Amino acid sequence: MSTDAFRLDGKLAVVTGGGSGIGRAIALTFGSRGATIHVLDLDEDAAQATTQEIIDEGGTAVAHGCDVADESDVERAFGEVLGSGGIDILVNNAGIAHIGNVESTTGADFDRIYRVNVKGVYHCMRASIGSMKERGGGVILNMASVAASVGLADRFAYSMSKGAVLAMTYSAAKDYAAQNIRVISISPARIHTPFVDGFIEANYPGREEEMFAKLSATQPIGRMGTPQEVADLALYLCSGQAAFATGTDYPIDGGFLKLNT
């Protein structure tokens, strides 16, 4: 293996939802491998905290408050990014969750999930591809989910949105392969993030340990994944070592898709 394996020196990477959880882990990991990181997050303070961590470790990073569901806000944020250089890597990680079936999901619920998880990915891809074409290539990594591929109870709108992310990944990969733009996705199962802890605390007060164990056991491996494990896969997929990978989804799921029967 080359001694510079998985390095991103000289690359400019945009990570949406980089203020916490998986996005934060990806931003920190890419920053430690030489990339200049632009962290986009609805919570600008969280984006600033991530960038400061990267800078404290000797990396280069810039924070941008951005609502990916708002096309004009995305255009503004990406205009700021492009003012400092062309985009080599886009990680579409920003997203929200929702619990409910068809009957309990309101039209407002459905629209909110669609605006963030589907249109947010579209907005950011559209804002990046022109720069990648000018630079002779790039990588777009979309965060999908196992919910895109299997039925999950009470995840109707969320599953819809992640199925759309998967379809957009395949379509864009086909459209831009000739321009040397690789488009790929990762489908995690349950990952232990602050969101999971907050969800359990809000919905199962007094039963936190019980529910954490139950949710962990959903994966045949017997635990949730970590943000760093997803970030390590993202690093490989966005590096030169994965130059042959495009139009493919990569599950990281503790055996969830294939071993649950």
Give me the DSSP letters along 19-83: TSHHHHHHHHHHHHTT-EEEEEESSHHHHHHHHHHHHHTT-EEEEEE--TT-HHHHHHHHHHHHT
Quickly count: other Cβ atoms within 10 Å of residue 2's Cβ: 8
Residue 63 has what pLDDT?
98
> What are the residues facing 39 on neighbouring strands?
15, 63
- How many CA atoms lie less than 13 Å away from 4 in the CB half-sphere? 7
CB 16 within 8 A of CB 43: no
Q: What is the DSSP letter of 226?
A: -
CB 25 within 8 A of CB 1: no
Residue 209 has what pLDDT?
94
Separation CA 23–CA 41 (nearest Å): 9
Residues found in the chain? 261
Per-residue pLDDT of the chain (261 residues; tens, 9 = 90+): 344 689 999 999 999 999 999 999 999 999 999 999 999 999 999 999 999 999 999 999 999 999 999 999 999 999 999 999 999 999 999 999 999 999 999 999 999 999 999 999 999 999 999 999 999 999 999 999 999 999 899 999 999 999 999 999 999 999 999 999 999 999 999 999 988 898 899 888 999 999 999 999 999 999 999 999 999 999 999 999 999 999 999 999 999 999 986
Separation CA 18–CA 25 (nearest Å): 8
Catalytic residue among 158, 176, 204, 250: 158
Separation CA 28–CA 9 (nearest Å): 14
Residue 34 has what pLDDT?
98
User: Does the active-site annotation cover 158?
Assistant: yes
CB 255 within 8 A of CB 228: no
Edge-to-edge strands of the sheet including 36-41? 60-65, 36-41, 12-16, 89-92, 138-143, 181-188, 249-252
pTM score: 0.95
Separation CA 100–CA 103 (nearest Å): 8
Quickly count: other Cβ atoms within 10 Å of residue 67's Cβ: 18
Residue 1 has what pLDDT?
39
